[in-house]
Amino acid sequence: MEDSLLLHFPAIAKKIIDTPPVWPVQEKNVGLKVMTNFIPIFPLSLVIYPDEELNLHIFEPRYKQLIAECAEAKKPFGIPSLIRNEFRKYGTLMEVTGIEKRYDNGEMDIHTKGVRVFKVLEVIHQVPEKLYSGAIVHYPHNHEQGNPVLMQGIIDGVRELHKLMQVSRDFKKSDGELVSYDVAHATGLSLEEEYEMLCLFQERQRQEYLKRHLKKILPMMVEIDRLKKRIKLNGHFQSPGR
DSSP string for residues in the chain: -HHHHHHH-HHHHHHHHSSPP----PPP--S----EEEEEB--BSS---TT-EEEEEE-SHHHHHHHHHHHHHT--EEEEEEETTEEEEEEEEEEEEEEEEE-TTS-EEEEEEEEEEEEEEEEES--TT-SS-EEEEE----B----HHHHHHHHHHHHHHHHHHT-----SS-GGG--HHHHGGGTT--HHHHHHHHT--BHHHHHHHHHHHHHHHHHHHHHHHHHHHHHHHTTS---TT-
pLDDT above 60 (res 30): no
Query: Element (H or E) spanning 153, and its range?
Result: helix 148-165
pLDDT at 220: 84
Query: Element (H or E) spanning 15, and its range?
Result: helix 10-17
pTM of the model: 0.80
Mean pLDDT along residues 133-152: 96
pLDDT at 8: 56
Q: 21 or 106: whose pLDDT is higher?
A: 106
Q: Report whether 19 contacts 11 (CB < 8 A).
A: no
Angle (deg, nearest 10), helices 203-233 and 10-17: 150
Structural domains in the chain?
2-19+147-232 (no CATH), 37-138 (2.30.130.40)
Q: Kindly provide the b/e burial profile for residues 165-175, where b requires at least 16 CB atoms within 10 angstroms of the residue's own CB.
A: eeeeeeeeeee
Q: 24 or 207: whose pLDDT is higher?
A: 207
pLDDT above 70 coverage of the chain, percent:
79
Q: How do strand 108-124 and strand 86-102 relate by DSSP bridges?
A: antiparallel
pLDDT above 80 (res 227): no
Mean pLDDT along residues 67-84: 96
pLDDT above 90 (res 164): no
Q: Using 50, 70 and 90 to split pLDDT, how confident is the model at 39? A: very high
Mean pLDDT along residues 74-97: 97
Q: Using 50, 70 and 90 to split pLDDT, how confident is the model at 11? A: low
Q: Using 50, 70 and 90 to split pLDDT, how confident is the model at 17? A: very low
Q: Report whether 237 contacts 19 (CB < 8 A).
A: no
pLDDT above 90 (res 134): yes
Q: Using 50, 70 and 90 to split pLDDT, how confident is the model at 50? A: very high
pLDDT above 90 coverage of the chain, percent:
71
Angle at 219 between CA 217 and CA 221, to 5 degrees: 70
Mean pLDDT along residues 36-53: 97
pLDDT at 135: 97
Classify residue 140 by burial, with Cβ atoms within 10 Å: 0-12, 13-18, 19+.
middle
